Amino acid sequence: MSRVRILDLSFQELAALLTGWGEPPYRARQLWQWLWRKWATSFQEMTDLPSALRERLACEFQLEVARPGAVQLDAEEGTEKVLLSLLDGEKIEAVLIRDEGRRTVCVSTQVGCPVGCRFCATGQMGFVRNLTPGEIAAQVLHFARRLASGGERVTHVVVMGMGEPLLNYQATLRALHNLHHPQGFALGGRKMTLSTVGVVPGIRKLAREGLPLNLAISLHAPRDELRRKLVPWGKQWGVREVVEAADEYAAATGRRVTYEYVLLRGVNDGLREARELGKLLRGRLAHVNLIPFNPAPGLPFHRPPPRRVEAFREELLRWGVDVTVRRSRGVRIRAACGQLRTRVGAKDAGFSSRLP
């Protein structure tokens, strides 16, 4: 029988287990701190635990969930991408972005993604499997260890890597709750951002989680007919429904929602779309983040020229909608938004229908 992966467990589960073994209550806290505060890589190093307990833990639990492999570094930007091999041989990518004092880890939640957005390299590889909570959190722990050697720490986590987090709701939320736990990694909810393509039931559920995450909604189009072409899965939930669910999130948490909008030259970057988006979002507790398209092999789109991005931005401002343009980081090492892909050639880009 395969051993339980200890990083998949919540604090309560771990505590119940240890109590069941007859251990005193403080043991759970000690063990939790080894896992989530000191980022231990073996049970042997947990020297303040009795050796019999360490042995039992090593027998019953698996601690390692991912092996770091190739690293790509953009020395000028300080962006770093790591390829992590999971125990079943699947591979995922995680990214560290250095931005002034911030050290942000961008994590993946699935191997591949079932949504299949036309402009996203991950979407083009198809869906392989969901990650477990430990596999999601391990990406953050990996960079926490890396940074510690230079006296630095992870300050932010963005769930914007491979996969759609709200289609792997339980594992993603378990990972974020574990990273949030005050006895361990202690990352504040406001330091975490979850980006979703707009899984409406997931957004509603998230509003009731009691974890004040920043929510980002990948909208990309102000009307259904255009959005359906870019986000195939978007057929299930219309633009209106997505925006209403985001409003619920904003109302429940008091947090402003970010709308991400990938600008694709000649596809969704016109003044018509800017106007429609402005009308849709004016007066809402919202903010737009424009992301000029990041190219990746096989993706049949182009980045709009800066003056078009600027015109789009100005039109939104005219509607009183707050807007920023995302400075893309990691483009040179293919670590930017939408560029993560580990099985090149697994599936053709497959984009043939012409877009308006």
Catalytic residues: 93, 337
Q: Using alpha carbons only, what angle is made at residue 15 by residues 13 and 16, rounded to the nearest 5 degrees? A: 65
Q: How far is the CB of 116 from ligand SF4 (least distance, A)?
A: 6
Q: How far is the CB of 79 from ligand SAH (least distance, A)?
A: 15
Among ligand SF4, ligand SAH, none, what does residue 245 contact (CB within 5–8 Å per kind)? none
Q: How far is the CB of 118 from ligand SF4 (least distance, A)?
A: 9
Q: Which is nearer to ligand SF4, 38 or 204 (CB)?
A: 204
Class of residue 270 by CB neighbours under 10 A (exposed 0-12, middle 13-18, buried 19+)? middle
Residues 68-97 that bind ligand SF4 (CB under 6 A): none
b/e per residue 211-232 (b: at least 16 CB within 10 A) = bebbbbbbbbbbbbebbbbbbe
Say whether 106 sits in a helix, a strand or coil. strand
Among ligand SAH, ligand SF4, none, what does residue 84 contact (CB within 5–8 Å per kind)? none
Q: Is 293 in the site for ligand SAH (CB under 6 A)?
A: yes
Residue 238 tokens read as 């219309």
Q: Using alpha carbons only, what angle is made at residue 122 by residues 221 and 136, rounded to the nearest 5 degrees? A: 110
Which bin fits 107, alpha (ψ -120 to 50), beta or left (φ > 0)?
A: beta
Residue 324 bridge partners (DSSP): 289
Q: Which of 127, 5, 142, 162 is nearest to 69 (CA)?
A: 142
Q: How far is the CB of 334 from ligand SF4 (least distance, A)?
A: 14
Q: Is 172 in the site for ligand SAH (CB under 6 A)?
A: no
Q: Which segment (23-31, 127-135, 241-249, 293-301) binds ligand SAH by CB under 6 A?
A: 293-301
Q: How far is CA 80 from the centre of its chain?
A: 16
Site string for ligand SAH, 18-37 (x = CB under 6 A): --------------------
CB 230 within 8 A of CB 221: yes
**What does the DSSP assignment read for 253-283?**
H-PPEEEEEEE-TTTT-SHHHHHHHHHHHTT
Q: Which segment (125-133, 146-154, 181-189, 195-203) binds ligand SAH by CB under 6 A?
A: 195-203
Q: Which of 66, 95, 147, 163 binds ligand SF4 (CB under 6 A)?
A: 163
Site string for ligand SAH, 36-55 (x = CB under 6 A): --------------------
Q: Which is nearer to ligand SAH, 119 or 249 (CB)?
A: 119
Q: Which of 65, 107, 117, 213 binds ligand SF4 (CB under 6 A)?
A: 117
Q: Is 269 in the site for ligand SAH (CB under 6 A)?
A: no
The Cα 278–Cα 138 span in angstroms is 39
The binding site for ligand SAH (CB under 6 A) comprises 119-120, 160, 164, 195-197, 218, 260, 262, 291, 293-294, 296, 337-338
Residues making contact with ligand SF4 (CB under 6 A) = 113, 115-117, 120, 122-123, 163-164, 197, 218, 338
